[in-house]
Every structure is written in structure tokens, then in C-alpha cells.
Amino acid sequence: MASNNTLRSYSIIPCFIFVELVIMSGTVLLAYYMECTDLFSVHVQGFFCNDAELMKPYPGTEESGFIPPLILYCVVAAAPTTVALKIDCGYRSEVKCVFAFGLFATDIFVNAGQVVTGGLAPYFLSVCKPNYTGTECRFNHQFIVNANLCTGNPVAVENARRSFPSKDASLSVYSAVYLTMYITSTIKTKSSRLAKPVLCLGTLCSAFLTGLNRVSEYRNHCSDVVAGFILGSAIALFLVRTMAEWALEKREEDSTEVDSGHHLFSHFQPHLGTDQNQFIK
């Protein structure tokens, strides 16, 4: 009976692999279209011409920041993968696959939030360069909804409308929380009790400093960074909990199969001993 169930479970493995490939491919494609194309237009949010919270100096392009996007993405993707390769918990490939899925899912959620809300960056008015002498900006408390009022670089204005939530904060804290929970559940240190806490706190501190750097460079508001932290942490916690429940069920199934195998062996062992005794006689 156990062998039939085992054969039946192995027969549906290709179906599960195909479904996972379809889900993963769809997630990657959606992240690509939201990140690298203009398929989804950003919501044009109104503003006040003399809003002090939007008049911070322009910090420059993302590549000129203290943490360039290329370096951030490489560290966020490579750090947990490297740790998973060095520390084997028995489900190495599943851990890497779930982490990659969560990374793309976090990027999708962040881009969706930015497209829907159209949150304005602290330096929005510096790149928008509205005509302050015009009729629409003549009054200090007049709310502007005209998207054509900006006279600055359209690319910079477009990027300044994608501030909420902070992508750097979301991706960094997602990777940090995922890596921290993986280290906590797999590394067993008896020689040093502080090695694991220091490693975990250092990882979380790096993500926290990444968010603070976004605020100090006037690239995001504090609320944008906090929302990014909450989003990345929620996705990481959900995926790690799902992965832990799956691993627990897998171990229970493996132990059940082993117990059934031992029971089957003990059932045939007396007959085998009788045959051996007859052969000896």
C-alpha cells in the first residue's frame, strides 16, 4: 500500500513542476513589464506649488546615490543564495526557489503601489519646475492637478512620482528578514552563543540603514520607507512560515514512509530467518 502511494506521488511530480514553472515565469514577466516598460502608467497626483515637503534639492539619479541600484540588487539577491549554498537544511533548492519568487513578488507589489498611488518624492518640485508666475501657482494654497504644469525633464518627473512605497527599503528588508529567519532555524552553534544573534542583527541593521539612507538623501519620505519595511517584512514572514509548514509536512511524510518500510521488513523477517535455517540444515 505504501509503495502504491509512493508511486502515485512520484507520478504527479512533473505536474507540480510544470505549475511552478508557469507561476514563476508569470511572476518574472509581470515584474519585468512593471519595472522596465511603460505598460502601466503612473497615477498623476496633485500638489501645492509651495509645498515645503516637496521642495528638497534634487539628489541626482539613482546611480549617483550612496547605494546604487545595481549593487543593492546584487547584494539582496546574492546574500541569501550564498548562505543557502553554504548551509544545507535539506531543502536547499526549495529555499532558493521560494526566495526568488518572493523577491519578484516584492518588486511587483512595490511597483503596483507606486503606480496606483503616484506618491511624490521630496524633491518633486525641484525637477517639476512649475511656472510659479502662472495663474495656477499664483496662490499659495491652490491645489494643482494639471500634469502639464511641469516644465522639467519628463524622465526625472516620472521617477519623482514613484516614491511610495520605497523599493530599496522593501527589497532590502525582505532579503534581511528571510535570511535572518533561515539562519535562525538552520544554524546550530554550541561554541559561541553570540555568533548567530550578531549575524542576524547585522543583516537587519544593514536593511534599516538602507532605508535611512533613502530619507537622508531626500529620495523618499519617512512614510515611504516605513511602508516599504512593512511590505517586505510581511512577504518574507509569510513565505518563511509557508516554507516551514511545507517542510514539517514533508518530514512527517518521510517518517511515515520509513516506519511503514520498517514494519514491512519486520513482517517478512521471520520467514526469511526460517528459510535461512532450513538452508543451513
pLDDT of 215 reads: 95
Q: Would 263 be classed as within a structural domain?
A: no
Do residues 112 and 227 share a domain? Answer: yes
Q: Would 3 be classed as within a structural domain?
A: yes
Reading the block at residue 270, the C-alpha cell is 521471520
Do residues 173 and 94 share a domain? Answer: yes
How many structural domains comprise the chain?
2
Share of the chain above pLDDT 70, in %: 74
Position 262 pLDDT exceeds 60: no
Do residues 24 and 67 share a domain? Answer: no
Q: Would 151 be classed as within a structural domain?
A: no
Do residues 90 and 191 share a domain? Answer: yes
Do residues 34 and 71 share a domain? Answer: no
Range picked from 81-90, 98-107, 167-176, 239-248 for highest mean pLDDT? 167-176
Do residues 88 and 1 share a domain? Answer: no
Q: Would 23 be classed as within a structural domain?
A: yes
Do residues 223 and 190 share a domain? Answer: yes
Q: Would 170 be classed as within a structural domain?
A: yes
Q: How far, in Å, are 22, 55, 93, 119, 186 from residue 122 at the CA level?
A: 39, 6, 41, 10, 42
- For 3, phi then psi, to 5°, come to -65, -35
User: Mind listing the pLDDT tens digit for each residue in 105-158?
Assistant: 999 999 999 999 999 999 999 999 887 776 667 666 677 877 677 888 999 999
Burial readout 135-148 (b: 16 or more C-beta within 10 A, e: otherwise): eebeeeeeebeeee
Position 278 pLDDT exceeds 50: no
The mean pLDDT of 31-39, rounded to a whole number, is: 83
Domain that holds residue 97: 61-120+161-251
| pTM of the complete model | 0.80
The mean pLDDT of 201-229, rounded to a whole number, is: 94
Q: Would 128 be classed as within a structural domain?
A: no
Which of 209, 229, 98, 241 lies closest to 165, judged by CA?
229
Q: Would 230 be classed as within a structural domain?
A: yes
User: Mind listing the pLDDT tens digit for each residue in 165-207?
Assistant: 999 999 999 999 998 988 887 777 666 677 788 888 998 999 9
Do residues 113 and 8 share a domain? Answer: no
Do residues 183 and 112 share a domain? Answer: yes
pLDDT of 191 reads: 62
Do residues 29 and 67 share a domain? Answer: no
